[in-house]
Chains A and B, each alone.
Chain A
Amino acid sequence: MTVTRRTKTASNRLQGRDGLHALLFLSPTLVIFTTFVIFPVFFSFYLSFHQWNMFSSQTSFVGLANYSRMLRDPEFWTVVKNTLVYTLGTVPLNMAISLLVAFMLNQKVFGKKFLRTAFFAPVIISPVAAAVIWRWMYDPNFGLVNYMLSFAGIRGPNWLNESHSAMFALILMAVWKTMGTNMVLFSAGLQGIPETYYEAAEIDGAGAWTKFWRITVPLLSPTTFFIMVMSLISSFQAFDVVYVLTSGGPLGSTKVLVFYLYEHAFKFFEMGYASAIAYFLFITLIILTLLQIKFMKSRV
């Protein structure tokens, strides 16, 4: 009896101390997180109703002027349109290719591990280095892309310098760059499907296509849903690849929302306006995600 009571009080005391200890050891992270994540989130909300150029120590209240300017700016709507084109281009293509690759690598293939690493490699490459490589590949005179096309008798365009091809070139590179992550997620999802279902289906005489369509796709849907939500968010936030590959050009045809935000924040120093754009993006993404949850949840 006494023994149990003693351990009990000891553990209680330890718990109280543990909490303090834990807080102490977490404090560096907490300080960093509060300073660089929580504070900016609220500060930029505050800024979106103000005018501030970063230099001066005071901000001036302008009410909803930043938001109304944004909605009236024709350039803003062009940028929104570009972002939508980019998203509609990357998300489905990315998901289709990564599912295909994951599915194929889930079969018995020679060099599976090597191939999986190879497909994942672009994710790790720094976007700047990747963009430099792709700039060369897209070069009209010496580029690999046009060289390959020339075998088919096609003279490729100057990919990055023509407004109708630049967005396509950008999407292609973005898919290459981000496909690996989704492939890994799909692979995990595929491995989670019990083999018994396939065996049962085989006994019932199902072919490869039926198995894929009736078993793999439905059982993979939680993964698919997760990947879709995440890819949609990240494609709305695309910036680095755009910045290095095309700088928003030619003729502004690849200027996406975050690039537009960056320009106003760090080129023209309109922090208030940039914050308003950031909050527009934030709210749009919340709405889109909620819509996805509402319409997809029942089928997942």
Chain B
Amino acid sequence: MKKLVLCALLLGLLLQTSCGKKEEAAGDGRTVVTFWHSFVSSTVPALNELIAKFEKENPAIQIRAQYIPTGDALIQKLITSVQSKTAPDISWVHSDYLQDLVEADAIYKMDDFIAGPDGLSEAELADIYPALIQYASWRGTLYSMPMEATNLALLYNRDLFRKVGLDPDRPPQDWHELHEYAKKLTVDADGDGIFEQVGFSLPVFPATGPLGGWMVWQWLPFLWQAGGELINEEQTSVLYNSEAGVAALRLWQEIYRDLKLSSYTTDYDVAFASQRQAMALDGPWNLPRYATLLKHFDWGFAPLPQGPAKKATIIGGEYLTIFKQSKHPAEAWKFIKWIIQPENQAFWAIKSSYLPINHSVLQVPEFQSYLAAHPAFKVFVDELEYSLASRPIDFHGLEITRHVAEALEKATVGDQDPAAALNESAQKSNALLQSAAK
């Protein structure tokens, strides 16, 4: 009997230690704020510097940054943590997931802090690019704060431009030129029907795969450039099957067909680095990598070519939310508020090559001198003036994005009629919107 009791006690002890929640404390009296992010490893040193700067200026707070994988894994982990009451204080969240988090009552409204004693002034709020505020909101309420911005530009190989007689200082200005240049830069030297060099590539991925949303994100600038919009303001029907949408998708289809991109699957950055690809869509987050990777030839960035209606590119970025389970919401807000200050934004942008979120950073002297020395980075900053955010979809955002991706895949890989593909997709999306309205 004694043995039995002993066994039971041991078992109990085992369960106790394995299930017990560890008390979070720095041990030196500082308040610990946990911060989940998905920065790639090349950005982590910059993030550490940013956090060190904050901790130096705010000695009472310690930021414990933790990497979590992005995409599907991020939201799955957030759900689990909210359910098991182990949510972080701050986490970066994609706009697509705001609906779920708000409906679960998991995150604070940013207005709760902005209007508070340590809040933000009207001017400070207006300083942030409006597209970012729009993207950080759900149904008109601000639930997250942008930490940095990103957008898309055109990466091009200046040496290859020279080789085919194109002026490297005059990158393609509009869709027509983009298409023409792409064809001109595509080379089949030995005439076997396989291109040794491709002028341009499109981010076409399986709609059902993890990169389907990423494909849609890069197609949206083309939709806007043609004068289109994803969804109407009342969120009652989608608009991407308009004439503008068809034109934007037709451009993709023609490029895909002419450049035989169906037999081209190599990652664009590898192909670009080995000078097998002349142009690509790309973002500022790759600049630190390229500074070391692309030393052996002359390359540059150019603004995205203009569409039939206007100049446009897409804005993205990482958005910080404060979880209601946080024991230190005030300290968490302090960190977020600190990050969006222009001088810290300048510091962060210079270190990480992400774009600043507010206009007044352009007045910070260090930032101005950095821009003058880094023309590739300046292209992205200049583009901020006409960077648009995709209008957040209140309900079924992920499914609607999936349906757009299906249309893109059908018109490129499947070579189907763009209008038919978009109409079929829009029909499915509209059915979803109607079911949500009920």
The minimal Cβ–Cβ distance linking B408 to chain A, given in whole angstroms, is 11
**Interface pair A24/B4, CB less than 8 Å apart:** yes
**Which residues of chain A have C-beta atoms less than 8 A from B409's C-beta?**
249-251
- Chain A residues whose C-beta falls within 8 Å of the C-beta of B262 in the assembled complex: 158, 161-162
Most buried by B among A17, A141, A255, A268: A141
| A269/B209 contact (C-beta < 8 A), A27-B11, A141-B194, A251-B414 known | no
Contact, CB under 8 Å: A56 / B103 = yes
- What B residues does A187 contact at CB under 8 A? none
Contact B207 A252 (CB under 8 A): yes
A202 in contact (CB, < 8 A): no
Given known A55-B101, A56-B104, A158-B265, contact A247–B11 (CB-CB < 8 A): no
Please report which residues of chain A, range 93-115, place their CB below 8 angstroms from some CB of chain B when the two chains form the complex. none
User: How many Å lie between the Cα of A77 and that of B51 in the bound state?
Assistant: 52
Residues of A close to B206: CB separation below 8 A = 246-252
* Closest chain A residue, CB of each to CB of B194: A141
Residue of B nearest to A160 (CB): B265
Which B residue sits closest to A265, measured CB to CB? B76
Complex Cα–Cα for A251 and B399 (A): 16
Nearest chain A CB to B18's CB is how many angstroms away?
Answer: 10
Partner of A268, one of B82, B194, B265, B399: B399
Query: In the complex, which residues of chain A have a beta carbon less than 8 angstroms from the beta carbon of B399?
Result: 268
| Least CB separation from B83: chain A residue | A54
Q: Chain A residues with Cβ under 8 A from B82's Cβ? A: 55
Contact residues in B for A46 (Cβ distance below 8 Å)? none
CA of A247 to CA of B266, assembled, Å = 17
Query: Please, which residues of chain B bring their CB within 8 A of the CB of A140?
Result: 263-265
| Size category of the binding interface on chain B | 20 to 34
Any chain A CB within 8 A of the CB of B376?
Answer: no
Q: A51: shortest Cβ distance to chain B, in Å?
A: 12
Q: Which residues of B contact A250 (CB under 8 A)?
A: 206, 409, 413-414
Q: A161 contacts B413, CB within 8 Å?
A: yes
Beta-carbon contact of A141 and B266 below 8 Å: yes
State whether the Cβ of B219 lies closer than 8 Å to any Cβ in chain A. Answer: no
Q: Are B208 and A248 in contact (CB under 8 A)?
A: yes
- A184–B82 alpha-carbon span in the complex (Å): 45
Contact A55–B79 (Cβ < 8 Å): yes
Name the B residues within 8 Å of A28 (CB-CB): 11
Most buried by A among B7, B210, B413: B413
**Does any Cβ of B come within 8 Å of A239's Cβ?**
no
Known A27-B11, A141-B263, A252-B207: A266·B83 in contact at CB below 8 Å: no
* Interface size bracket, A side: 20 to 34
Residue of B76, B205, B209, B414 near A266 (CB, 8 A) is B76
Partner of A55, one of B104, B209, B264: B104
Tell me the complex Cα distance, A135–B67, Å. 28
Q: Contacts A21-B4, A24-B8 given; indicate if A249 touches B209 (C-beta within 8 A).
A: yes
- Contact between chains at A53 and B100 (CB < 8 Å): yes
Closest-CB distance, B276 to chain A (whole angstroms): 9
Given contacts A21-B4, A140-B263, A267-B398, contact A249 B207 (CB under 8 A): yes
Task: Output the least CB separation between A40 and chain B (Å).
Answer: 15
Chain A residues with CB under 8 Å of B210's CB are 247
Alpha-carbon separation in the docked complex, A53 to B264 (Å): 39
Cα(A54)–Cα(B7), bound, Å: 37
Q: For the complex, what is the distance from the CA of A142 to the CA of B267, rounded to whole Å? A: 13
Picked from A21, A160, A162, A263, the residue with its CB within 8 Å of the CB of B208 is A263
CA distance A53 to B399 in the complex (A): 14
Q: In the complex the two chains form, is A158's CB within 8 Å of B263's CB?
A: yes
Measured CA separation A238–B307 after assembly (Å): 44
Asked if B72 is at the interface (CB within 8 A of a chain A CB), the reply is: yes
Please name all residues of chain A whose beta carbon is closer than 8 Å to the beta carbon of B211 when the two chains form the complex. 247
In the complex, A54→B78 CA distance in Å? 11
Interface residues in A5-56 by Cβ distance below 8 A to B read 17, 20-21, 24-25, 27-28, 53-56
Contact with B along A274-285 (1 / 0, CB 8 A): 000000000000
Q: Which of B7, B101, B208 contacts A247 (CB 8 A)?
A: B208
Q: Do the beta carbons of A20 and B4 come within 8 Å of each other?
A: yes
Q: Which of A24, A161, A163, A251 contacts B265 (CB 8 A)?
A: A161
* Shortest Cβ gap from B13 to chain A (Å): 13
Q: Which residues of A contact B136 (CB under 8 A)?
A: none
Tell me whether A259 is interfacial, beta carbon within 8 Å.
yes
In B67-115, which residues have CB < 8 Å from any A CB?
72, 76, 79, 82-83, 100-101, 103-104, 106
- Complex Cα gap A158–B76 (Å): 33
Distance between Cα atoms of A55 and B99 in the complex (Å): 11
Q: Which chain B residues numbered 166 to 224 have a C-beta less than 8 Å away from chain A?
A: 194, 205-211
Residue interface bits A149-169, CB-to-B below 8 A is 1, else 0? 000000000101111000000
A249 to B208, CA, bound (A): 6
CA distance A255 to B410 in the complex (A): 15
The distance in angstroms between the C-alpha atoms of A211 and B406, with both chains bound, is 54
Q: Which residues of A contact B104 (CB under 8 A)?
A: 53, 55-56
CA distance A243 to B107 in the complex (A): 31
Question: Which residue of chain B is the closest to A166 with respect to CB atoms?
Answer: B206
Partner of A139, one of B4, B11, B205, B266: B266
Complex alpha-carbon distance, A267 and B240, angstroms: 22
Report A-chain residues with C-beta under 8 Å of the C-beta of B265: 139-141, 158, 160-161
- Give Cα A252–Cα B8 distance, bound, in whole angstroms: 53
Q: Which of B100, B206, B211 neighbours the largest number of chain A CB atoms within 10 Å of its CB? A: B206
**Interchain nearest-CB distance for B401 vs A (Å):** 10
Residues on B with C-beta less than 8 A from A55 are 79, 82, 100-101, 103-104, 106
Known: A158-B262, A247-B206, A250-B413. 17 other contacts (CB 8 A): A55-B103, A55-B104, A139-B265, A140-B263, A141-B264, A158-B263, A161-B263, A162-B413, A247-B205, A248-B209, A249-B205, A250-B414, A252-B206, A252-B207, A266-B72, A267-B72, A269-B79
Interchain Cβ contacts under 8 Å between A and B, 9 examples: A21-B4, A53-B100, A141-B194, A158-B265, A247-B206, A247-B211, A250-B413, A251-B207, A263-B208
